[in-house]
Amino acid sequence: MNTHEPIVYLNGEFVALNNAHVSVLDRGFIFGDGVYEVIPAYGKHLFRLQHHLERLNNNLKAIQIKNPLSSNDWQLLIEQLIIKNNFNNQSVYLQITRGVAPRDHNFPHQENPTVFMMTSALEKQSVDIANNGVHAVSLPDNRWQNCHIKSISLLPNVLLRQQALDKGAVEAILIRDGMATEGAASNLFIVLDDCLITPPKGPLLLPGVTRDLVVELAIKKNTCLKEQTITEDDLNNAQEIWLTSSTKEILPVTKLNDKSVSSGKPGSHWHEMMADYQHYIQTLEQSS
Ligand SMILES: Cc1ncc(COP(=O)(O)O)c(C=O)c1O
């Protein structure tokens, strides 16, 4: 338990959470005009930091905000933040918005981005999930066409996630033009004919850092792997369904739309991949 007040980073300063204030004219608040990252830290070791920073850089470029910090400076600040907070495993959230300006859709003449970082405890996956998996539902993907940008404008994702919760599931698997793209806050893998399949990267899904590691681990093991579109039929006939994200790692979906996936228990491919994934994390934790 962390009994201290969380310390956050805001525009060049580390301050107690309660003392961190942003103007109501911040374009993040007014327009959702910004991008974010979520970076896990295991035993204070940052997970795939360079991948996260590279994605952040791409996202800032995509929305035309100059990256306010170099990779080295990001690393130093994030490392200071996790040391100042007390959790063993942490989930670092960082957000950059186009800053404070009079409300106007036009970009402000002078760019002065708001940089915010906070961290929270990262819970490891429960034994119950390993034993029983989770329930997901499929829902129409009604988001915009730039889902590769990790935008803070998450209203569609929030509504989709809530619809899933209201149906007794933990995540929505999104279907666009008959193809399953990803989850509301996760990437999608299925096992079909003993082959692991995940949709290829492109504008319709977020290039997940966890997704990339799962792909890497599969290639290392010579597992049959295809980066190809997943039809709704493929999804409904899958032997296994997984959802990946930085905070949830690899979630086995054992029920889709109230129908069991295979035996209704996490499958053998998931167990094997999860063991490799945990081994990767243990190696990271033991690194100097
Ligand atoms: C829409 C969406 N897809 C995929 C992911 C998974 O990305 P990552 O593995 O980098 O956390 C997320 C994470 O929040 C997400 O919001």
Residues 137 and 30 in one domain: no
Type of residue found at 51: H
Mean pLDDT score, 8-27: 98
Mean pLDDT score, 63-72: 98
Percent of the chain residues past pLDDT 70, beyond the cut: 99
Q: Does residue 150 carry a catalytic annotation? A: yes
Residues 271 and 178 in one domain: yes
Last residue within a domain, chosen from 121, 136, 163: 121
Residues 115 and 237 in one domain: no
- 54 in a domain, yes or no? yes
Rounded distance, CA 245 to CA 186, Å? 5
Mean pLDDT score, 208-232: 98
Mutational test site, ligand 1, from 246, 249, 251, 281, max ligand atoms within 8 Å of CB: 246
- 136 is in which domain, residue-wise? 127-286
For atom 5 of ligand 1, the residue with the nearest CA is 186
Residues 140 and 272 in one domain: yes
Cβ-in-10-Å burial (0-12, 13-18, 19+) of 266 comes to buried
Mean pLDDT score, 71-87: 96
Q: Report residues whose beta carbon is within 6 angstroms of any ligand 1 atom.
A: 38, 157, 182, 185-187, 206, 208-211, 244-246
At 2 the pLDDT is 47
150 Cα–ligand 1 center, Å: 8
| pLDDT tens sequence across 90-145 | 999 999 999 999 999 999 999 899 999 999 999 988 999 999 999 999 999 999 99
∠190-249-272 over CA atoms, to 5°? 60
3-state secondary structure of 275: helix
- 2 in a domain, yes or no? no
Which pTM value belongs to this model? Answer: 0.97
At 4 the pLDDT is 76
- Tally of domains in the chain: 2
